[in-house]
Structure 1
Amino acid sequence: MKPTFQTLILFVFPFQIFAQSALPRNTPEALNISSKGIQEFLDAVGSESKHEMHSLMILRNGQVAAEGWWAPYGPKTKHTMYSVSKTFTASAIGLAVADGKLKVTDKVISFFPESLPTTVSPHLAELEIKDLLSMTVGHDKSFNQEVFTQEDWVKAFLNLPIADKPGTKFLYNTSASYMLSAIIQKVTGQNLLEYLQPRLLDPLGISGADWEKDLEGIAVGGWGIRVKTEDMAKLGQLFLQKGNWNGKQILPESWIEEASTMKIMQEPDASPERIASNDWVQGYGYQMWRSRYNSYRADGAFGQYILILPELEGVIVITSETSDMQGLLDLVWKHLLPAFDNDPSSEKNLERNLKNLSLSPLKSKSNKKLENTISNNTYIVENQNNIVNEFNIKFLKSSIKLSLKVGEESHEFFLASGNWLLGTTDRKGPNLFHFAQNQLDGLAPFKVAGSYAWKDEKTIEIKLKYYESPHTETILITFEGDHAEIIFKNSFENREDWPVFVGKA
């Protein structure tokens, strides 16, 4: 495998050069968008910020004004959507309503008589599909662990206590989104992707999507779809166009209105100051959030956004990894929103500057003496665990090979110092829903980019960027005589107590 060093790629197209299913392209200035404002946003989310950007796409009047990917992310690469998946799930419900297969006032228990608890509580009996859609089930806390660690998620959900009357209080509820998926499969005999493909995805020219499933083959609904940046933009544009695509009504206009308007306030007693500064208290629709500036959005963990700006005829799509989702949106409002309103001003260096940006790989000088000593040594971990039983580093001419073994599974990664080396692996990377049954099963191989550097004279640091997801895994190995300590960290858990595994050569 040859080392590759890639940079952020921005495309600004004066005319259509993509396949027919692609969105039309234009320049920012032709669409009355300031490229200077775009550059200011890119500067704000640069390497010195706390936000790791993966892609950006800006549309106006149905045309792409600018688009960029921070390599190793690219235009043909799928990206984990997390809760942006919920908007796809709700769209399936809208299509099923249009097909006459259900109504949003249908009782949830009517679909699953075989999974009901011995005693059905009054609140469970009242629960309707629209309560699932609007996150108003009535649960008093999140039950993700209680549902997604079980073998039968439908039964687990229906056996949860419902503290409040359905439809009265907001509580973000990913298990409710799963139930929407289970209802679709119940009434259609198809999983979400199978149902959406001919009705939504094919008309929009979306191909190659996949979706995590539970042990019963039901798409998880509340997370788990992987699509490309432009696919996200197409869904946003469809909503902006009130469900119409190339003259055909894909989703009913009435459904777009229902899904995108406020059904419940997250914090009815929020202060004016909080409402003015927080995009999570503007109201919730059907698996979509209302946002400031009379906008609304599909919204996924760690900064996956489809922002729909009806008053500006605009759509902004972002994939990223950030621990401060409000902070990232604040930068959108500060730099990109005004770019739609101001007289278009050109930034002549925009493309050139972007070509010099990248998600920086690790880089250091070699450590020849220690490298020669440890190269191709296999370290055996004595304590039994499900993370690593053996590890080995072999130093090659311009790269290294990291080998990991756990149980009967062996995995190899090639890494470079100063470059990202691209490869694939069957080893699952970091994921917010790592605890869920069947998590990521059937989706391998996963794309991964690797780099390394010597952190000090005894410790090597390795980064594995799983670039179909938002996340990076960091591996630290410290060598001392014939022993080595290895630590595995992920990029989103803020903890100090990472387990340490000791191997002996």
Structure 2
Amino acid sequence: MTMDLPRCAPEEIGLSSRQVAGCIRALNHELTTMNGFMAARHGKVFTECWWSPYRAELVHSNHSFGKSYTATAIGIAMQERKLHLDERMADIFADEIAERKLQLDERTRRITIRHVLTMTNGMERHPDMTGDWIGNYFATPMAYEPGTRFAYNSSGSCMLGAIILKRTGQNMKEYLTPRLFEKIGIDASRFVWCKFPNGIDGEPGTFATTEDNLRLAQLYCNGGSWNGERVLDEDFFKEALSVQIENPYAPEQKDGRCGYGYQLWACSIPGVFRFDGGQGQYGIIWPEKELVISLHEGAFAPLGPQKTLDVLYEHLLLKLQDEPLPSAEDDLAALRALEKAQALPAGEVGQTLPDASWDGTYTMKTDTFDPWFAVAPPGVGDLFAAFRTPEHDHPIHSFSLRITPTLLTLSLDSGAEICASLDGSLTERFVASPFPALGAFAATARLTEEGTLEMRIRWLNGWFETILVFAQSPDGLTITTKKLRLNEADNYLIKTSLAIRQV
């Protein structure tokens, strides 16, 4: 069933095309790489663009934006009387606690679903999300009475997913498909929800299109109805879109200290709320003005995401008029041309092409390497390693390099091939990876002035980038793998390994 969102000119909803064009230009600031952007008012999309090779149909990592899909599932389950928000977590997971012979702090026993929704679990630190993360959650020491103090806790959000599975017999995506996705026009076959090794749909494991996220924001803006059909009780949305806990001491930029609802944040403009994922994955909701915005980007922490919000506030939210503006066909045409013209910068091109001395098959001598994307905040390993599909996650024992006048091809012993353009062009390709549905990429390669062979892989299901640097030496081929963190203090997860040429 087609459920296309209507489109309109910005002037129809109280913004000028020039203002929107100025917003797009300002979004291209120095602390981010934009991937996708949409905005709608009164249910009509008035601007949308993707930075090529990103495109509308590609799902993109949501990071903690996905918590809002989780909260929505909790609301639906509550509506279906599968749970209530004041149920205690220790009662829901009594069997798991008994199996692990855990002795719980009395405060731990008082944690409710509502406390988890509002990030007021009361724990002194973030629970370990590796291994037995359900047991780790209950074993984490308490510092505060539940419900009294905000402390960000992604493990708690994963526990909400475990509740859905426990109470409904279905994982999050399976549960939400007929109850949410099909009702608001999200293509469930394309939407990706990565699983933990224990089979539970994980957080931060959602990948959605920019429009999928806009639709969720629109549902919240509508108070839970879609095209006249009630999807979820309005009272749940009133509670979700309200400050349930103040957080003035949160270690965030200004928009991270304005209060928190149900797995979403209050903004510095009164009455505005947002779904929020790391590195600037946003869904902005302004019910009073019937305005929603969806944005995917790769913003450098700690300042980049806030700068993007400030751009949206300055150029859109604070410019919004209550009445339509006169049509401006020339300005609208210029805006639509600008939207279509957005693209990532081309890759660097070497002054000379790599020669045939790089061609060959190599065997790993020390450790291994891999080109796949990672999410690794400073001081933390790859958070997405748990989401790799074991049957597709093959350690690399050997690989080959092949040079042509236009391409560098890296062929892995698993059969996967990554082709990189030598002319700097970012061409979308696909490779079989440990994330089976998330193999879209665009790669470039060059011979550097230092004589190394550099391959840059932009993973198009997120802001992710992997840089592989091959260096010839008497000992063999040194491979330096750099995976982008998007953190100004520590920008890469780096690993070095060695391979030798087969003869």
User: TM-score category by the smaller chain?
Assistant: 0.7 to 0.9
What SS does the corresponding residue of 2:35 show, helix, strand or coil?
A: strand
**What amino acid does structure 2 have at the position aligned with 1:316?**
I
| TM-score between the two structures when normalised by the length of structure 2 | 0.85
How many angstroms does 1:33 deviate by?
A: 1.6
1:209 has 2:185 as partner: no
Q: How many residues align?
A: 458
Task: Tell me which residue corresponds to 2:263.
Answer: 287
Distance 2:210 2:341 in 1: 21
Distance 2:468 2:23 in 1: 32
Q: Structure 1 residues 36, 102: closer, same or farther in 2, change over 3 A?
A: same
TM superposition shift of 1:317? 0.8
Give the one of 360, 370, 387 matched to 2:345: 360
Change (3 A) 1:269 1:425: closer
Counterpart contact for 1:39–1:347, Cα < 8 Å = no
Q: Does 1:23 align with 2:27?
A: no
Contact 2:447–2:453 (CA under 8 A) maintained in structure 1: yes
Residue 178 (structure 1) aligned with residue 158 (structure 2): yes
Bigger shift: 339-348 or 470-479?
339-348
The corresponding residue for 2:15 is 33
Partner of 2:383: none
Residues 146-185 of structure 1, C-alpha deviations (whole Å, 9 max, x = no match): 2x211x3222212222221110111100000011111111
Answer whether contact 1:38 1:339 (CA < 8 A) is retained: no
Aligned to 1:402: 410
2:430 alignment partner AA: T
Tell me the residue number matched to 2:135. 155
Distance 1:118 1:503, change over 3 A: closer
The match for 1:384 among 367, 370, 382 is: 367
Rounded Cα–Cα distance in structure 2 between residues aligned with 1:444 and 1:310? 34
1:297 maps to which residue? 274
Bigger shift: 461-470 or 490-499?
A: 490-499
Cα separation, partners in 2 of 1:305 and 1:488, compared to 1, 3 Å: same
| C-alpha spacing 1:36/1:339, structure 2 compared with 1 (3 Å) | farther
* Aligned pairs (5 A) from 1:472-491: 472-480=465-473, 483-491=476-484
Moved more, 482-491 or 239-248: 482-491
Name the amino acid aligned to 1:21. M
2:426 corresponds to which residue?
420
Distance 1:451 1:101 in 2: 50
SS of alignment partner, residue 197 of structure 1: helix
In the aligned structure 2, how far is the partner of 1:502 from the partner of 1:455? 19
Which residue of 2 is the match for residue 257 of structure 1? 238
Q: Deviations along 1:323-364, whole A, 9 cap, x unmatched?
A: 121111111112222342395773652233344431123142
Q: 2:316 aligns to what SS in structure 1?
A: helix
Q: Following the alignment from structure 2 to structure 1, what is the Cα–Cα distance between the partners of residues 319 and 255? A: 20
User: In the alignment, residue 426 of structure 1 is paired with which amino acid?
Assistant: A
Pair 1:169–1:334, CA change in 2 (3 A): same
Which SS does the other structure have where 2:119 is aligned? coil
The CA distance in 2 between the partners of 1:328 and 1:373, in whole Å, is 45
Is contact 2:425-2:444 (8 Å) kept? yes
- Look up the equivalent residue of 1:468 and give its one-letter code: N
How much identity, in percent, do the aligned residues show? 29
Cα distance, 1:504 vs. partner?
3.0
- Residue 61 (structure 1) shift: 0.5
Aligned equivalents of 1:286, 1:293: Cα separation in 2: 18
| Distance of 2:41 and 2:18 partners within structure 1 | 16
State the partner residue of 1:3: none
Change beyond 3 A, Cα 1:338–1:118: closer
CA contact (8 A) 1:58 1:67 kept: yes
CA distance in 1, matches of 2:455, 2:350: 14
d(CA) in 1 for partners of 2:236 and 2:492? Answer: 46
Q: Secondary structure at the match of 2:343?
A: coil
Check conservation: 1:262, 1:283, Cα contact below 8 A: yes
Quote the Cα distance in structure 1 between the aligned partners of 2:475 and 2:350: 23
User: What CA deviation, in whole Å up to 9, does each residue of 1:422-463 have, x standing for no partner?
Assistant: 2222334xxxxxxxxxxx5xx445212111223225122211
Partner of 2:123: 139
**TM-superposed deviation, 1:229:** 1.1
Q: TM-score, normalised by structure 1?
A: 0.85
CA distance in 2, matches of 1:281, 1:328: 16
Between 419-428 and 466-475, the greater mean CA deviation after superposition: 419-428
The answer for unaligned runs of 5 or more in structure 1 is: 1-18, 429-439
Structure 1 equivalent of residue 385 of structure 2: none
Q: Which moved more, 1:472-481 or 1:49-58?
A: 472-481
Partner amino acid, structure 1, of 2:280: G
Matches within 5 A, 1:98-497: 98-116=79-97, 117-143=101-127, 146=128, 148-150=129-131, 152-207=132-187, 208-220=190-202, 222-267=203-248, 278-294=254-270, 295-323=272-300, 324-341=304-321, 346=331, 348-365=333-350, 367-368=352-353, 370-374=354-358, 376-385=359-368, 387=370, 389-405=397-413, 409-416=414-421, 417-428=423-434, 440=435, 443-444=436-437, 446-456=439-449, 458-480=451-473, 483-492=476-485, 494-495=490-491
Conserved? CA contact 1:379–1:392, under 8 Å:
yes
Which range moves more in the overlay, 193-202 or 328-337? 328-337
Q: Quick check: 2:9–2:332 contact (8 Å CA) kept in 1?
A: no
For 1:359 and 1:80, how far apart are their aligned partners in 2? 18
After TM superposition, the structure 1 stretch with the greater mean CA deviation from structure 2, 380-389 or 315-324, is 380-389
Residue number in structure 2 paired with 1:431? none
| TM-fit CA distance, 1:28 | 1.1
* 1:82 CA displacement: 0.9
Matches of 2:492 and 2:30, distance apart in 1: 22
Is residue 26–residue 64 contact of structure 1 (8 Å, CA) maintained in 2? yes
Distance 1:54 1:497 in 2: 22
